[in-house]
Structure 1
């Protein structure tokens, strides 16, 4: 049985998914599984993704959590938020991702909350705030996402 993305992700969060239930996109994503990211909140156009970071797995040469990991966390939250609008036969791609970093992270829990600033038919713009365990802003990302349909969505 195939569910719409939003219903599938809600079931995934509630741990009520049955083996025969799936959706037209891949969740959890391979990169989320590899990095240990988890969808913890979902709604129409909104998503919160969390990750538990450590110096042993995620640090750069300065001993802080790598900015690329924080960027991936924000991108995952934005992509998950946008996927709640995606119908069967559609796909999407990031056109642009910009991130500003405000404070270092040495380890611990991070949460990325994404929501649309503008939801367009083809192009949408998102904001994502990444916070640490103390609820302090670590980074802010904006992203432009394009919805693909028809031949453009094939094979994606």
Structure 2
């Protein structure tokens, strides 16, 4: 597992907790830095926060010579955020040999959910993993 990643450093994401197949990532956000046209934290930022948690979670189950690639991601936005500390926690909902499905919940500082994100991740082996 490589952490922090370049994008995590750029966006100020911090690893909070990691375990086999699970990870939590934190971001301190404000609409002045992370805002969209409506003045709330951008949904794309929330998706990236979830993707960072999912990717970190999946990296904990990689064996030597394996790599992985996200093959889809879907977000459901539940409430807006202006300024807060967000934590994204990813866990597998189904772990297959090649495809693993993850569910990630993003909560704000008071524990209320901001978004739920689901993603499928494909494990790459052998020639497919070379150079990744």
Q: Please give the TM-score of this superposition, normalised by the length of structure 2.
A: 0.98
* Structure 2 residue 55 is the aligned partner of structure 1 residue 111: no
SS at match of 2:10: helix
| Residue pairs, 1:69-88, within 5 angstroms | 69-88=45-64
The CA distance in 2 between the partners of 1:106 and 1:27, in whole Å, is: 27
The CA distance in 1 between the partners of 2:60 and 2:31, in whole Å, is: 33
* Structure 2 residue 108 is the aligned partner of structure 1 residue 132: yes
Structure possessing the higher radius of gyration over alpha carbons: 1
The CA distance in 2 between the partners of 1:27 and 1:75, in whole Å, is: 14
The CA distance in 2 between the partners of 1:154 and 1:54, in whole Å, is: 39
Structure 2 match to 1:55: 31
* Structure 2 residue 131 is the aligned partner of structure 1 residue 151: no
RMSD (CA atoms) = 0.7
Equivalenced residue count is 132
The one-character-per-residue Cα deviations of 1:92-115 (angstroms, maximum 9, x if unpaired) are 000110010000001110000000
| Residue pairs, 1:9-28, within 5 angstroms | 26-28=2-4
More strand by share: 2
Match of 2:71 among 67, 88, 95: 95
SS at match of 2:16: strand
SS at match of 2:119: strand
- Structure 1: gaps of 5 or more residues: 6-25
- Structure 2: gaps of 5 or more residues: none
The CA distance in 2 between the partners of 1:116 and 1:151, in whole Å, is: 25
